[in-house]
């Protein structure tokens, strides 16, 4: 088992030169790092906070082509995303699965219009299609979506898309990187770039727990910091504040009875120009998302009043009832880095990605979406390898299985536990000699005490938030239950990490303070 101390020692060797240094541990950064390491390049990744702390753990949990981009006629993006969706399902079947969707039609023109569009969507996925689409009668649509409003319902369109576990996917990419011989470290902040004769040749970083200073030399540095790409570009002396528009999206998590059954609902066009999803997720109903422009990126974005009102209004319109505050189990927001193309509403901006090579040799990747993370990594490493003069190697990630991938679910595993794939027997074995580790952390959550130990030993979890928000989804799924489970989690973490009672209390206090922002309260 590789420890954090082992990783620090390896990264702390200032005499060693990495081929590729990636800054940023979200979907794009991890995708770049796995792509580089899979080609045999010596690869390191550092993340200022935790893996997928920002946008990459706050998605709508869909691996999809993007129906609205089809309507915008961005066929290249849709085609790429549909192909990548199929690859995600093939390469990480323990984290990605098919999900049936129904588009309810509330006027007669919607049936042929969206029926044709979703048939094109199906055709574009080719051999990687997840299933056929077809029109539904009013009764058929109501049977599949018993939670949908029936007033003026004319019928519906059934189609298929992918659902995935975003933060677990990120952790799996981190472990895949290390399987390939690379190294990743969270809570390691880049403070400046190393320049030699006008070229970027690495970075200075500070390990945030110990304060250790690291000097990381590399043949090429990749800036994959999402909404914060401008911070690293400024270190390079080339700030570009016009590069991105930042858009915020908010989700509500409601009880299962808002969407009984296993079929999701998609509203293709809302008042802000986005699609709206209601999805069965972790035994609850996930509803989102909004599209609200914001001026700056934030580590902990909070839902704006306009977003809360938008969701309440649309839930009432399409699900027939307005949620009470006590029914909203959690409310959370994420921010999208959208490549700016002139002016206009953020809902109309594309999710295309962009790779930028600075005169100094710094490579920046921005834009994109979770579903195309692998393609983003491939394009970025192609440009980075060429710029740094690395030996040319073909990409092999399109068909490469990720860490712990299992094609057949384990019979002894719960639905949640399937995310651990082939690691699950080793995880379960942790409670063989310690039966107390088999206990649930909270009766309203599917997570067990042994998962805290596993996340600490094998997945670089360092805080209660790391575990409750990203190694599991407790905070996003049910904020109040997560807060009640937090004392047990912090105690298990402290025991594993050898922390003092004062350190344990500080970790718990920090989590509880942050978790308050996920509890819905009426204005």
Nearest 5°: the CA angle 316, 321, 327 is 105
**Which residues, given as ranges, of the chain have pLDDT below 70?**
239-242, 272, 340-351, 523
Say whether the peptide bond before residue 313 is cis (omega within 30 degrees of 0). no
Structure tokens, 344: 């206009």
What residues form DSSP beta bridges with 218? 18
Domain with CATH 3.50.50.60 in the chain: 4-55+168-243+349-399
The upper half-sphere exposure of residue 254, i.e. CA atoms within 13 Å in the direction of its Cβ, equals 25
| Residue 55 near residue 335 (C-beta atoms within 8 A) | yes
Q: Output the average pLDDT for the chain.
A: 93
Tell me, what's the pLDDT at 341?
Answer: 53
For residues 10 and 2, what is the distance between their CA atoms, to the nearest angstrom? 11
Q: Cα separations (Å) of 314 from 195, 241, 270, 290? A: 52, 34, 8, 11
For residues 148 and 25, what is the distance between their CA atoms, to the nearest angstrom? 38
Q: Within 10 A of 523 (CB to CB), how many other CB atoms are there?
A: 6
Pick the CATH number of 98-163+244-348 from 2.60.40.420, 3.40.50.1000, 3.40.50.360, 3.30.9.10: 3.30.9.10
For residue 291, give the nearest of 342, 320, 255, 249 by alpha carbon: 249
Q: At what angle do helices 75-91 and 110-124 cross, to 10 degrees?
A: 60
Structure tokens, 513: 């303070």
Tell me, what's the pLDDT at 347?
Answer: 44
- DSSP-derived 3-state class of residue 161: strand
Tell me, what's the pLDDT at 240?
Answer: 56
Per-residue pLDDT of 469-511, as tens digits, reads: 999 999 999 999 999 999 999 999 999 999 999 999 999 999 9
Tell me, what's the pLDDT at 151?
Answer: 87
- CATH topology assigned to domain 416-518: Helicase, Ruva Protein; domain 3 (1.10.8)
Tell me, what's the pLDDT at 343?
Answer: 40
Structure tokens, 322: 């307005």
For residues 300 and 308, what is the distance between their CA atoms, to the nearest angstrom? 16
Domain with CATH 1.10.8.870 in the chain: 416-518
Tell me, what's the pLDDT at 88?
Answer: 97
Q: Within 10 A of 191 (CB to CB), how many other CB atoms are there?
A: 12
Tell me, what's the pLDDT at 119?
Answer: 93
Tell me, what's the pLDDT at 33?
Answer: 98
For residues 76 and 379, what is the distance between their CA atoms, to the nearest angstrom? 15
Q: Which residue has the tokens 């402290």?
A: 494
CATH of domain 4-55+168-243+349-399: 3.50.50.60
Domain with CATH 3.30.9.10 in the chain: 98-163+244-348
Q: Within 10 A of 195 (CB to CB), how many other CB atoms are there?
A: 16
For residues 33 and 341, what is the distance between their CA atoms, to the nearest angstrom? 28
What is the C-alpha R_g of the chain? 23
For residues 173 and 420, what is the distance between their CA atoms, to the nearest angstrom? 13
519-522 long-range contacts, CB within 8 A, separation 24+: 519/330, 519/331, 519/479, 519/480, 519/483, 520/252, 520/308, 520/325, 520/328, 520/330, 520/331, 521/325, 522/325
What residues form DSSP beta bridges with 204? 192, 215
| Residue 289 near residue 250 (C-beta atoms within 8 A) | yes
Q: What are phi and psi of 250, to 5 degrees?
A: -120, 145
**Burial class of 400 by CB neighbour count within 10 A (0 to 12, 13 to 18, 19+):** middle
- DSSP-derived 3-state class of residue 301: coil
For residues 200 and 193, what is the distance between their CA atoms, to the nearest angstrom? 7
The upper half-sphere exposure of residue 479, i.e. CA atoms within 13 Å in the direction of its Cβ, equals 23
| Residue 299 near residue 54 (C-beta atoms within 8 A) | yes
Strands annotated E in 12-116: 17-23, 43-46, 62-63, 96-105
Tell me, what's the pLDDT at 404?
Answer: 98
For residues 410 and 116, what is the distance between their CA atoms, to the nearest angstrom? 38
Per-residue pLDDT of 228-272, as tens digits, reads: 999 999 999 876 556 778 889 999 999 999 999 899 999 988 876
């Amino acid at each position: 088992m590789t420890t954090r101390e082992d990783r620090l020692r390896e990264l702390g060797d200032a005499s060693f030169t990495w081929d590729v240094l990636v800054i940023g541990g979200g979907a794009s950064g991890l995708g770049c790092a796995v792509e580089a390491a899979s080609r045999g390049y010596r690869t390191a990744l550092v993340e200022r906070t935790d893996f997928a702390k920002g946008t990459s753990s706050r998605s709508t949990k869909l691996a999809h082509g993007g129906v609205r981009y089809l309507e915008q006629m961005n066929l290249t993006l849709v085609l790429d995303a549909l192909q990548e969706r199929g690859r995600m399902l093939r390469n990480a079947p323990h984290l990605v699965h098919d999900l049936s969707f129904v588009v309810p039609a509330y006027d007669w023109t919607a049936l042929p219009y969206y029926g044709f569009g979703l048939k094109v969507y199906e055709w574009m996925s080719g051999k990687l299609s997840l299933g056929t689409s077809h029109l539904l009668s009013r009764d058929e649509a109501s049977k599949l979506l018993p939670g949908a409003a029936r007033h003026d319902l004319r019928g519906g369109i059934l189609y298929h898309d992918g659902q995935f576990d975003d933060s677990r996917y990120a952790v799996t990419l981190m472990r895949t990187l290390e399987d390939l011989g690379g190294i990743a470290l969270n809570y390691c902040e880049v403070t400046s770039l190393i320049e030699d004769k006008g070229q970027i040749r690495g970075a200075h970083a500070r390990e945030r727990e110990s304060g250790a200073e690291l000097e990381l030399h590399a043949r090429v540095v990749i800036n994959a910091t999402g909404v914060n790409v401008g911070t690293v570009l400024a270190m390079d002396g080339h700030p570009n504040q016009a590069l991105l528009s930042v858009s915020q999206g908010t989700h509500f998590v409601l009880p299962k009875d808002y969407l009984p059954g296993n079929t999701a609902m998609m509203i293709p066009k809302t008042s802000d120009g986005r699609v709206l999803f209601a999805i069965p997720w972790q035994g609850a109903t996930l509803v989102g998302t909004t599209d609200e422009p914001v001026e700056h990126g934030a580590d902990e974005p909070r839902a704006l009043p306009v977003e809360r009102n938008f969701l309440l209004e649309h839930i009432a319109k399409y699900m027939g009832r307005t949620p009470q505050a006590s029914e909203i189990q959690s409310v959370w927001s994420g921010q999208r880095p959208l490549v700016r193309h002139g002016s206009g509403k953020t809902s109309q901006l594309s999710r295309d990605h962009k790779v930028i090579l600075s005169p100094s040799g710094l490579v920046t990747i921005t834009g994109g979406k979770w579903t195309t993370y692998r393609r983003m990594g491939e394009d970025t490493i192609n440009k980075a390898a060429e710029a740094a003069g690395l030996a040319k190697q073909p990409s092999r990630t399109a068909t490469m299985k990720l860490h712990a991938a299992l094609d057949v679910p384990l019979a002894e595993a719960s639905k949640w536990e399937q995310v651990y794939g082939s690691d699950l027997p080793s995880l379960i074995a942790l409670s063989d000699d310690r039966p107390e580790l088999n206990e649930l952390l909270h009766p309203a959550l599917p997570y067990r005490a042994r998962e805290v130990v596993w996340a600490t030993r094998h997945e670089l979890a360092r805080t209660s938030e790391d575990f409750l928000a990203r190694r599991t989804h407790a905070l996003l799924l049910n904020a109040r239950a997560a807060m009640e489970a937090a004392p047990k989690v912090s105690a298990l973490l402290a025991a594993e990490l050898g922390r003092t009672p004062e350190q344990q209390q500080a970790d718990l206090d920090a989590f509880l303070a942050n978790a308050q922002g996920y509890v819905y309260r009426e204005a």
